Structure 1
Amino acid sequence: MRKIIAIPLGDVAGIGPEIVVKSLNDREIYDTCKPLVIGHSIPLQKAMKVSGVALEINRIDNPEEGLYRHGTVDLIELDCPGIENIEFGKIQKEAGLFAYSFIERSVELALHNKVSALATTPINKEALKAAGIPYIGHTEMLADLCGVSNPLTMFQVKNLRVFFFTRHLSLLEAIKSIKEKELYEHITMDIKALQSLGIEKPKLAVAALNPHAGEHGLFGREEMEEIEPAVKKAQEQGLNVVGPVPADSVFYKALQGEYDAVLSLYHDQGHIATKMVDFERTISLTLGLPFLRTSVDHGTAFDIAGKGIATSTSMEEAIRLAAAYASVYKYDLLSSG
């Protein structure tokens, strides 16, 4: 039972269309799912030309009309006046508007159970801003479109899963935000998120903040005063969580299967760990939405857009991961309680 995975085309001035056509040129993608592109044929045709890919575009109005076979790109084409004038590698407000419309339609399909998950391509924050779209990225956009207040971000690469307690904060602000109550709440949500992905009895490790987990206050007191109490409270509630585990070992242990996931305390702590395992295959998942969303973890790459040299590895992994989790994802586990 292959699931339909919606692929919004993203900012068409970037590499999104190129990595989509290259991914859909891989026969194995069609063995795992039914990929459905939401966008427009013109950027797809341009991408095929520069990438040396020849696929037939099958325009459809509804997902159930798709052929979903290798050699054909099933496309729900939106009205995009002037899309033929979009230039590669430039910030353009029209591209921002189109990118938002692709995502909006994909979300609509997902909320009506017409598609099982989204695998998103890169968007550009500056293009969104130029278009007057009031979001800094996919997560905020998806949350608002779905009426969800606080979705979770998880990275996965191979056997390593990483959650983020903080993301886009300065290191100083991230440290200040580490408080027992909020950390405990995040731990409980992370456990639920893992269960929503079909892991019935997950084991979570909380990464330490300071060297050697603070060495009982020698290198900082955050572990003693905030992190350890949060972990202890979670354990008292019956959750299988350990920590703080020194950050120089916890990610390796998780990769080896000792933990199902790690809670990273700040942006780069988790990003460095996952991307050193395999930069191109590190995939971002947004959990806590009524549907699963995966994404490449790279940007629009305007510097190489239109050159046909962008690798599609991350896009292929995003599609495969969306397909793998779509059949087990349980939103109700995250939306309850």
Structure 2
Amino acid sequence: MTQLREIIAIPMGDPAGIGPEITAKSLANKEIYDMCKPVVVGDANVFKKAIEIVEKDLQINIIASPEEGKYEYGTVDLIDLNNIDMNELQYGVVQAQCGKAAFAYIETSVNLAKEGKVKALATTPINKESLKAGEIPYIGHTEMLESLTNTQDPLTMFQVRGMRIFFLTRHLSLKDAIAQMTKERVRDYLTRCDKALQRLGVESRKIAVAGLNPHSGEGGLFGMEEVDEIRPGIEAAIEDGIDAVGPVPADSVFHQALHGKYDAVLSLYHDQGHIAAKMTDFHRTISITNGLPFLRTSVDHGTAFDIAGKNIASSVSMEECIKLAAQYAPRFTAETME
């Protein structure tokens, strides 16, 4: 059965970073066009320069809307916001114009998704300092997407080599993260994880919860968090009909998930899941933001200012990001998660 090729918007990212380069390299891979219809949202002059830097044989087709795209290998369909002064652009340098431009690419892509003109977003790196210099009131993609779609607390999922990881907490100190590991939060997140997997078309949804303490606390010998909060939260979710297990010791649960024992893991704190994913395959760890009215995938690395403009950056992560969006987009349903 031939895969349905959905239109995927690719906001170009910070023009001073590696986003334009890795996008150009990715779109020089025919497999991308076999899987989807990519449309770049950015600045035509910046992207033309990126093509020159990476030395790829690509032509730019400037369009006003996704329905005008050719979506043919060798031709990059691009919505040109024309918002960068090339005389002022410096690779690897924080610049206000780049922060403003990066936000404009994302905002335009989100609007296209909300209008149903693209099925998903595959986002490239942006820079927090550039956003601040451009007086953009967000520190990153997640905050922008929350605001632009009026979504509260979107759910992050990593996927790498078939292993899926959700996060109970994100950017908090470990002490503050532990304080959030309540029965109610564990129960709520397991329900949300199950719904997120269902939206992505995952039929089998056995979710393991990682333990916090060594050996998941050994019944209270090494801490009471599992006894008092985590296990009761899991049991409550099971009563709600969620196929959940745990807490499973964190030194083994990710290995087991990687080899198919579980369909997803709920990581209790940021580094617990990030380390597991990135040690499995740093370049192929892709982030999916669930809970939005559209599908969004993202590379899990930064703008790499130190190598920008030098044709050094690997496009593996960006290619995986686009492929994953293409894989899930035909099965993704846009109803709002309750």
Q: TM-score, normalised by structure 1?
A: 0.98
Superposition misfits of 4+ residues, deviation over 4 angstroms: none
Q: Is the 8 A contact 2:21 2:54 kept in 1?
A: yes
**Alignment equivalent of 1:76, drawn from 71, 75, 79:** 79
Q: Which residue of 2 aligns with 1:121?
A: 124
Where do residues 83-122 of structure 1 align in structure 2 (5 Å cutoff)? 83-122=86-125
Q: Is the 8 A contact 1:288 1:331 kept in 2?
A: no
**Alignment equivalent of 1:278, drawn from 261, 281, 300:** 281
TM-aligned CA deviation for residue 330 of structure 1: 2.0
Counting matched residue pairs gives 335
Cα distance, 1:308–1:237 mapped onto 2, change above 3 Å: same
Following the alignment from structure 2 to structure 1, what is the Cα–Cα distance between the partners of residues 189 and 333?
A: 18
- Give the match's secondary structure for 2:322: helix
**Alignment equivalent of 1:237, drawn from 232, 235, 240:** 240
* Alignment partner of 1:8 is 2:7: no
Q: Is the 8 A contact 1:59 1:74 kept in 2?
A: yes
Following the alignment from structure 1 to structure 2, what is the Cα–Cα distance between the partners of residues 54 and 309?
A: 18
Q: Is the 8 A contact 1:7 1:38 kept in 2?
A: yes
Gaps of 5+ in 1: none
Q: Which residue of 2 aligns with 1:25?
A: 28
Q: Which residue of 2 aligns with 1:247?
A: 250
Following the alignment from structure 1 to structure 2, what is the Cα–Cα distance between the partners of residues 297 and 286?
A: 12
Q: Is the 8 A contact 2:207 2:262 kept in 1?
A: yes
Q: Which residue of 2 aligns with 1:325?
A: 328
* Alignment partner of 1:207 is 2:229: no
Q: Which residue of 2 aligns with 1:192?
A: 195
- Give the match's secondary structure for 1:34: strand
Amino acid at match of 2:128: K
- Give the match's secondary structure for 1:107: helix
**Alignment equivalent of 1:268, drawn from 254, 267, 271:** 271
Following the alignment from structure 1 to structure 2, what is the Cα–Cα distance between the partners of residues 248 and 329?
A: 32
Following the alignment from structure 1 to structure 2, what is the Cα–Cα distance between the partners of residues 23 and 200?
A: 30
**Alignment equivalent of 1:150, drawn from 148, 153, 158:** 153
Following the alignment from structure 1 to structure 2, what is the Cα–Cα distance between the partners of residues 224 and 288?
A: 30
Following the alignment from structure 1 to structure 2, what is the Cα–Cα distance between the partners of residues 331 and 196?
A: 8
Amino acid at match of 2:337: S
TM-aligned CA deviation for residue 81 of structure 1: 4.9
Q: Which residue of 2 aligns with 1:178?
A: 181
- Give the match's secondary structure for 1:331: coil
Following the alignment from structure 2 to structure 1, what is the Cα–Cα distance between the partners of residues 278 and 211?
A: 19
Gaps of 5+ in 2: none
Q: Is the 8 A contact 1:42 1:84 kept in 2?
A: no
Q: Which residue of 1 aligns with 2:299?
A: 296
Q: Is the 8 A contact 1:40 1:78 kept in 2?
A: yes
Following the alignment from structure 2 to structure 1, what is the Cα–Cα distance between the partners of residues 309 and 239?
A: 55
Deviations for 1:3-27, whole angstroms, at most 9, x for unmatched residues?
0000000101000000000000001
Deviations for 1:124-173, whole angstroms, at most 9, x for unmatched residues?
01111111111111011011101111211000001100000111011111
Q: Is the 8 A contact 2:13 2:123 kept in 1?
A: yes
Amino acid at match of 1:76: I
- Give the match's secondary structure for 1:252: helix
**Alignment equivalent of 1:222, drawn from 221, 225, 241:** 225
Report percent identity of matched pairs: 59
TM-aligned CA deviation for residue 200 of structure 1: 2.8
Following the alignment from structure 1 to structure 2, what is the Cα–Cα distance between the partners of residues 92 and 48?
A: 21
Following the alignment from structure 1 to structure 2, what is the Cα–Cα distance between the partners of residues 60 and 73?
A: 10
Amino acid at match of 2:247: P
* Alignment partner of 1:137 is 2:140: yes
* Alignment partner of 1:59 is 2:69: no
- Give the match's secondary structure for 1:85: coil
TM-aligned CA deviation for residue 84 of structure 1: 4.4
Q: Is the 8 A contact 2:17 2:309 kept in 1?
A: yes
Following the alignment from structure 1 to structure 2, what is the Cα–Cα distance between the partners of residues 162 and 292?
A: 17
Following the alignment from structure 1 to structure 2, what is the Cα–Cα distance between the partners of residues 298 and 118?
A: 16
Amino acid at match of 2:313: A
Following the alignment from structure 1 to structure 2, what is the Cα–Cα distance between the partners of residues 186 and 206?
A: 10
- Give the match's secondary structure for 1:234: helix
Deviations for 1:226-264, whole angstroms, at most 9, x for unmatched residues?
000000001111110001000011001111111110000
Following the alignment from structure 2 to structure 1, what is the Cα–Cα distance between the partners of residues 84 and 47?
A: 16
- Give the match's secondary structure for 1:4: strand
- Give the match's secondary structure for 1:169: coil
Q: TM-score, normalised by structure 2?
A: 0.97
